[in-house]
Amino acid sequence: QVTAKTAFLFILPQYNVSVPTADGELVQYHYGLKDLVTILFYIFIAIILHAVVQEYALDKINRRLHLSKVKHSKFNESGQLVAFHLTSVIWCLYVVVTEGYISNPRSLWENYPHVYLPYQVKFFYLCQLAYWLHALPELYFQKVRKEEIPRQLRCISLYLLHIAGAYLLNLTRLGLILLLLQYLAEFFFHMARLVYFTDENNEKLFNVWAVVFVVTRLFTLTLYILVIGFGLPRVESQALDPERGNFFSFLFNNILFRMSVLLLVCLFQASVMWRFIHFQLRRWREYWNEQSSRKRAAAPAGTKQQTKLLKRDSGYHENGVVKAENGTSPRTKKLKSP
């Protein structure tokens, strides 16, 4: 029994409470320091699953494709993220549908702060934190190139910041929807990269990703404006109360603070869209350069020879004699005496 209690501390979410409802009591959860122990356990689980996907799927595909070292590293990165994003999208979609966050958008800000979480919501956040924390030691295990490490560290840090911030500031409902939109776009991007590495002439999925990316950015910006601009300012409890988990809803009563936050959100989304447009322009430019080079390489050899002959014969022929452009005959070459 003693070992069972210790095992439950690692495996199951902690801090469960019974919340009275009209139908009886409902078991829900809040966060605390013991969550770090649970996250540590699932970090090891994520490392094991990472190794299984690498060993039994990605390595076998790599042996058949014979990719270069650079493409090999990118293929492994995209392969791992495709598996993770697909699992997370299905899981997150199931959670938001069963909890009614999509059918009732007002639930994203009603009764804030959302201190008590359903089991599946808390477990989802713990697994998300564990996955992105496990990505740090994986940089060493996967022997990632030094020039790629800053980019991956930046990506991991942003995910950890957003997920931990939503979890600790009791914005878990908004965070779920935002993660669903982000993971959906990332899934199509990394799936397009996998298809491109297997067949460099196939870039159709990049076009699908471009459409999904723009749509998800629009939904993300709309959601921010809806929740921050209109939802949180209408929360009944506007006083600062850290004990109840109400950290900053009182700030959104101030229109200056609210507009400043919305401005920062819009600027961030604009920078993301600018990078996306720059990437698309560069990709299209490379595509058209490649197409033009292929057309030049496919030009028939006879056409080139004919062009050379026309350039060499600057005059025209008359009665078998080459005439210059002014009509005079070319000067005959004097023969040397024997």
pLDDT given for residue 253 in this prediction: 66
Q: Which residues contact 162 (CB under 8 A, 6 or more apart)?
A: 175, 178, 179
Name the residue with higher pLDDT: 200 or 209: 209
Is there a contact between 17 and 27 (Cβ–Cβ < 8 Å)? Answer: yes
Cα gap 158→220, rounded to integer Å: 16
Per-residue pLDDT reduced to its tens digit, 151-188: 999 999 999 999 998 998 888 999 999 999 999 999 99
Is there a contact between 89 and 184 (Cβ–Cβ < 8 Å)? Answer: yes
Backbone angles phi, psi at 12, to 5 degrees: -100, 150
Range from 52-56, 86-90, 136-140, 204-208 that averages highest in pLDDT: 86-90
Cα gap 222→177, rounded to integer Å: 12
| Other Cβ atoms closer than 10 A to 116 | 19
Instruction: Give strand pairing partners of 318.
Output: 321
Query: Could you please report the per-residue DSSP string of 215-229?
Result: HHHHHHHHHHIIIII
Mean predicted lDDT score pLDDT of the chain: 82
pLDDT at 331 over 70: no
Indicate the range of 53-62, 117-126, 230-239, 328-337 predicted with least confidence.
328-337
- Give Cα separations from 131 to 47, 48, 49, 124 (angstroms): 8, 11, 10, 11
pTM (two decimals): 0.81
Is there a contact between 51 and 23 (Cβ–Cβ < 8 Å)? Answer: no
Query: What average pLDDT does this structure show over 65-84?
Result: 90
Cα gap 234→236, rounded to integer Å: 6
Query: Could you please report the per-residue DSSP string of 38-58?
Result: HHHHHHHHHHHHHHHHIIIII
Instruction: Give strand pairing partners of 321.
Output: 318
Query: What average pLDDT does this structure show over 256-268?
Result: 83
Cα gap 270→267, rounded to integer Å: 5
The confidence band for 90, taking pLDDT boundaries of 50, 70 and 90, is very high
Backbone angles phi, psi at 328, to 5 degrees: -80, 150
Is there a contact between 68 and 62 (Cβ–Cβ < 8 Å)? Answer: no
Greatest alpha-carbon span in the chain: 126
Cα angle at 30 between 109 and 47, to 5 degrees? 105
